[in-house]
């Protein structure tokens, strides 16, 4: 999974946890919301737990919950937790220095894209999981309990 989709998936997971804040959710229920495999969610939750964004508990009443208040978790916090080096990454092969474009493109793009990346990360700092949760609650026609009572075939 690339960096940008990981940010979106992690934001989705944390928003589900914020909306269903009164209980812990299993990776299976979180995966149900994402319509993906629980293994994908568990890998991501490991990064979020290491960054103190989620807590987990094993056992019958176990699962995952937010470690902090939703208004104290910004999209930038998630971005940092995923250890994304840069929003813009270069091809792993070095360009051909014998080509005038190949010799200069990475330096020029780095200079050009740096302000755009800073603007985006600054904006990510202003958006919280609580902001997103409130928007979800305002827009949703489906009751939130559908996540809690998702039929996982168990």
b vs e for 15-37, b when ≥16 Cβ sit within 10 Å of the residue's Cβ? bbbbbbeeebbbbbbbbbbbeee
User: Please, is 2 exposed, middle or buried when counting C-beta atoms within 10 Å of its C-beta (0-12, 13-18, 19+)?
Assistant: exposed
* 76 band by pLDDT with thresholds 50, 70 and 90: very high
pLDDT at 142: 74
Mean pLDDT, residues 21-46 taken together? 93
- Strand 54-57 with 63-66, pairing: antiparallel
Q: Please give the model's pTM, rounded to 2 decimal places.
A: 0.83
Question: How far apart, in whole angstroms, are the C-alpha atoms of residue 96 and residue 115?
Answer: 26
Question: How far apart, in whole angstroms, are the C-alpha atoms of residue 107 and residue 3?
Answer: 22
* 13 band by pLDDT with thresholds 50, 70 and 90: very high
Mean predicted lDDT score pLDDT of the chain: 88
Domain at 3-85+128-148: CATH architecture: Orthogonal Bundle (1.10)
Asked if residue 26 lies in contact with residue 34, where contact means CB atoms within 8 angstroms, the answer is no
- Give me the count of residues in the chain: 154
Mean pLDDT, residues 66-72 taken together? 97
Find the radius of gyration of the CA atoms of the chain: 19
Tokens of 81: 């937790």
pLDDT tens digits, 84-126? 767 777 888 889 999 999 999 999 999 999 999 899 999 999 9
Is the pLDDT at 145 greater than 70, yes or no? no
Question: How far apart, in whole angstroms, are the C-alpha atoms of residue 154 and residue 13?
Answer: 21
* 127 band by pLDDT with thresholds 50, 70 and 90: very high
Tokens of 130: 């609580």
Is the pLDDT at 130 greater than 90, yes or no? yes
């Amino acid at each position: 999974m690339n960096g940008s989709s990981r940010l979106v998936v992690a934001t989705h997971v944390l928003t589900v946890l914020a909306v269903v804040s009164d209980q812990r959710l299993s990776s299976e229920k979180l995966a149900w919301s994402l319509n993906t495999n629980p293994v994908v969610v568990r890998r991501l939750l490991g990064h979020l737990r290491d960054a103190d964004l989620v807590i987990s508990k094993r056992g019958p009443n176990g699962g995952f919950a937010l470690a902090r208040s939703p208004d104290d978790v910004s999209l930038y916090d998630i971005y940092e937790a995923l250890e994304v080096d840069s929003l813009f990454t270069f091809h792993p092969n070095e360009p051909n220095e014998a080509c005038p474009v190949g010799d200069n493109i990475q330096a020029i793009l780095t200079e050009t894209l740096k302000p755009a990346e800073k603007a985006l990360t600054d904006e990510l700092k202003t958006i919280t999981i609580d902001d997103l949760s409130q928007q979800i609650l305002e827009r949703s026609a489906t009751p939130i309990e559908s996540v809690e009572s998702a039929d996982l075939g168990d």
